[in-house]
Amino acid sequence: MKKILIIEDDESLCLELKELLENASYKAFVLKDFSNILEQITEITPDLILLDINIPGTNGEVLLQNLRKTSSLPVIMVTSKNTEVDEVLSMSYGADDYITKPYNPTILLLRIASIFKRMENNSSICTYRDLTINFQKGIIKKSNIEIILTKNEMIIFSYLLNNRNKIVTRDELMTDLWNNNEYINDNALTVNISRLRAKLKEVGFENAIETRKGIGYILL
Amino acid sequence: MKISLFFKDKMPSFILSTSFYLITLLMFLAFKIDSSLIIVFSISFFLLLLSLFLISYFKKKSFYNQLLFNIENLDKSYLVLETINKPNFYEGKLLYQALYDINKSMSENIKSFSLQTTDFKQYIEMWIHEIKIPISSLNIMAHNHKDKFDKKTLKQLKKIENYVDQVLYYVRSNNPEKDYLINEVELNKVIMNVALKNKDSLLEQKIDFIVSNINNKVYTDSKWLEFILNQIINNSIKYKKETTNSYIKVEVIEESDKTILTITDNGIGIPTIDLPRVFEKTFTGNNGRLKTKSTGMGLFIAKNLCNKLGHKINIESKEGEYTKVFIIFSKNKYYEVAR
Q: pLDDT digit string (tens) for B6-30?
A: 888 888 988 999 999 999 989 988 9
List B residues 85-104 in contact with A (Cβ-Cβ < 8 A): none
- Is B297 domain-assigned? yes
Contact A23 B144 (CB under 8 A): yes
Contacts of A85 in chain B (CB under 8 A): 179, 181
Chain segment A148-160, per-residue pLDDT in tens: 999 999 999 989 9
Separation between Cα atoms, residue B335 and residue B339, nearest integer Å: 6
Per-residue pLDDT band at B332 (split at 50, 70, 90): low
| End residue of a domain, out of B59, B85, B111 | B85
Torsional sign, CA A200, A205, A206, A211:
negative
Residue B269 lies in a domain: yes
Give the domain range for residue B56. 3-85
Q: What is the pLDDT of residues B52-83, one digit of tens each?
A: 888 888 888 888 988 899 999 988 888 888 88
Distance between B207 CA and the closest CA of chain A, angstroms: 8
Q: What integer pLDDT is reported at residue B234 of this predicted model?
A: 93
Least CB–CB distance from A84: residue in B134, B210, B222: B222
Q: Which residue in chain A is spatially nearest to B206 when comparing CA positions? A: A185
Quote the Cα angle for B155-B161-B167, to 5°.
Answer: 140
pLDDT surpassing 50 at residue B339: no
CATH of the domain at B240: 3.30.565.10
Kindly report the nearest CA distance between residue A101 and chain B, in angstroms: 6
Residue in A11, A25, A52, A80 to test binding to B, most B beta-carbons within 10 Å: A80
Q: Where are the beta strands (DSSP E) in A84-207?
A: 97-100, 125-128, 131-134, 139-142, 145-148, 167-169
Residues B67 and B194 in one domain: no
Among the three residues B85, B114, B129, which one is the final residue of a domain in this structure?
Answer: B85
Same domain, B199 and B303: yes
Instruction: List the domains of chain A with CATH numbers.
Output: 3-120 (3.40.50.2300), 125-219 (1.10.10.10)
Q: Is residue B54 part of a domain?
A: yes
Residue A206: its pLDDT value, please?
83
Q: Is residue B121 part of a domain?
A: no
B197, B323: one domain? yes
- Kindly state whether residue B112 falls inside one of the protein's structural domains: no
In a domain, residue B143? The reply is no
CB-side exposure of B34: number of CA atoms within 13 Å? 3
Check whether residue B199 and residue B62 sit in a common domain: no
- Identify the CA nearest to A178 among candidates A21, A170, B231: A170
Number of folded domains in chain B?
2
pLDDT at B335 over 60: no
Model ipTM?
A: 0.86
Question: Measured between alpha carbons, how far is residue B124 from residues A99, B121, B164, B224, B302 in Å?
Answer: 21, 5, 10, 18, 19
Residues of A with CB under 8 A from a CB of B: 10, 12-13, 16-17, 19-20, 23, 54, 80-85, 87-88, 101-107, 174-175, 178-179, 181, 183, 185-186
Domain membership flag for residue B91: no
Question: For residue B33, what pLDDT band results from cuts at 50, 70 and 90?
Answer: confident
Please tell me the predicted confidence (pLDDT) of residue B47: 93
Query: Of B62, B85, B108, which residue is a domain's last?
Result: B85
B140 in contact with A at a CB cutoff of 8 Å? yes
Distance CA B146, CA B182 (A): 40
Residue of B nearest to A171 (CA): B200
In 10 A of CB A44, how many CB atoms? Answer: 14
pLDDT at B334 over 90: no
* pLDDT of amino acid B291: 62
- Does the global pTM surpass 0.90? no
Q: Say if residue B71 is in the same domain as residue B197.
A: no
